[in-house]
A and B are shown apart, each in its own frame.
Chain A
């Protein structure tokens, strides 16, 4: 057996290939971490499911709110409100005001109903035509019928009405359909509740993944000690655990997405039937690509964050004895 001259230490890595080596190592570590998960399929599946359900909950409620919103947007004409101008406002002033309001981003259209037009309509509708002819002057003011844009929430509608109500030309803003606004206000609250709930569930996911990684680290304590003993840095021993967190996040996020989409698929048929009964054209709004990516991205981020915090904390403590 030939023994070669061994006196030089580890040959330095050529810088040109250092990046590709780094990449190869990461690839093999990530596959190794995935392999480790697949070797305990039941335990891994449980954790992925917990993450999936935890993420699917807020995502599903969010979809329901979106659908409720899309349904209520077909009630847009119900959101119209009338603005009665003061009696001393002239037609040209009223037209100017209509133009001004029309320019607002949160307004879809503004119709001017002049005093004369209103009187004519009233004559026709009321049947008091002859009696009204006796009036020497038109007692009606000019009015604007404002239709808010589809993007409005309950709060922004109220704001819009207040702002128009505060204009010097305005006498009175009349909202006939306050229930729609209340509905929107409820949606606003639900949306805020989702945000708070999502934050809490996010913390839960961090705790779940962090705890799993912590157990994993404890189980592999000896391996970590040995690896450190032969010169591994904290970053090196941390790497497989970061990948584990990454995979938990990715698999959990993807499963959450699958759960929500499957739920929507189940709801599609009964909703279409209901829509048919009301002769409305209600379609189920599903998660878009950007929303899907947000869910998966959030899951991956939470997985990485949890494993990073846990691994960083424990790796420093595990030293060879």
Chain B
């Protein structure tokens, strides 16, 4: 589902965020990317989201080579991927419902269908009763769940998350991870950047460890 072939990302300053990285995530897998800050976790996700382009190498997502996605086609490409961010990136000038509905509005889904799907997504993160509230009135954990509802409302095949539990305490982190786990059980491929190794070990998922832009090891607890 996600495949990187010998990917290097060099920034204008000269430092390399990723150096000849190759990895692959199968369809329906839930994989964690770990590593210290600066190891290249975020850069990896940003390449998948086409926020950045690789200096060399290939990034292939759902059989699409991102190199061939033209600038004008980036919005359509991004609509196929669900994205969750550490700082939620919610819009605070509108209620929870409108935040979750935004991807559907962008995709041009009719008003009635959108309403149904937004409620379904909010139900999956147990926030149906807060659809009319402003995100500001929600706790950090609830805000993150709104962000997750927004990421899955379009039913993407792939979901990427950058430190989704970075600002949450252990209980809330576990709750968020359980939500991800449930999506994974219905076939969504997930790639999650996190440094919370104890939490990852409890979930028992494959872990890709990065160090200075390279693969450190690939630890699969099932093998």
Contact = CB atoms under 8 A, between A and B. Distances in A.
B186 A5 contact: yes
Contact of A6 (B49, B75, B79, B187): B187
A6 B186 contact: yes
Given A6-B183, A7-B187, A229 B106 contact: no
A93 interface: no
A7 B157 contact: yes
B93 A223 contact: yes
B186 A25 contact: no
Contacts of B90: 226
A5 B187 contact: yes
Interface string A1-16: 1011111111101000
Given A9-B155, A223-B91, A230 B83 contact: yes
Q: Which of A17, A227, A230, A320 neighbours the largest number of chain B CB atoms within 10 Å of its CB?
A: A230
Contacts of B6: none
Contacts of B183: 3, 6
A229 B80 CA distance: 12
A9 B123 contact: no
A236 B106 contact: yes
How many interface residues does chain B have, given as a range? 35 or more
Interface in A1-55: 1, 3-11, 13, 17-18, 20-22, 24-25
A3 B123 CA distance: 9
Given A3-B182, A6-B186, A7-B157, A231 B79 contact: yes
Contacts of A229: 49, 51, 78, 83, 89
A25 B79 CA distance: 18
A215 to B, nearest CB: 16
A228 B104 CA distance: 13
B126 A4 contact: no
Contacts, number: 96
Contacts of A233: 75-76, 106
Interface in A214-246: 223, 226-234, 236
A230 B78 contact: yes
A317 interface: no
Contacts of A22: 108
Given A4-B120, A232-B75, A320 B51 contact: yes
Given A1-B123, A229-B51, A229-B89, A6 B188 contact: yes
B108 A9 contact: no
Interface string A96-130: 00000000000000000000000000000000000
Contact of A226 (B49, B89, B124, B126): B89
B76 A6 contact: no
Nearest to A20: B110
Contacts of A6: 152, 155, 183, 186-188
Given A6-B183, A10-B154, A233-B75, 16 more contacts: A1-B126, A5-B187, A7-B187, A10-B79, A10-B103, A21-B108, A22-B108, A24-B111, A25-B105, A226-B91, A227-B91, A229-B83, A230-B83, A230-B102, A231-B77, A231-B79
17 contacts: A1-B123, A1-B124, A3-B185, A6-B187, A7-B157, A9-B80, A9-B154, A9-B155, A10-B104, A10-B109, A11-B113, A13-B107, A20-B110, A223-B93, A230-B79, A230-B102, A232-B106
Interface of A: 1, 3-11, 13, 17-18, 20-22, 24-25, 223, 226-234, 236, 319-321
Q: Which 7 A-B pairs have the closest CB atoms?
A: A231-B79, A231-B78, A233-B75, A7-B187, A6-B155, A10-B154, A226-B89
Interface of B: 49, 51, 75-80, 83, 89-91, 93, 102-111, 113, 120, 123-124, 126, 150-152, 154-157, 182-183, 185-188
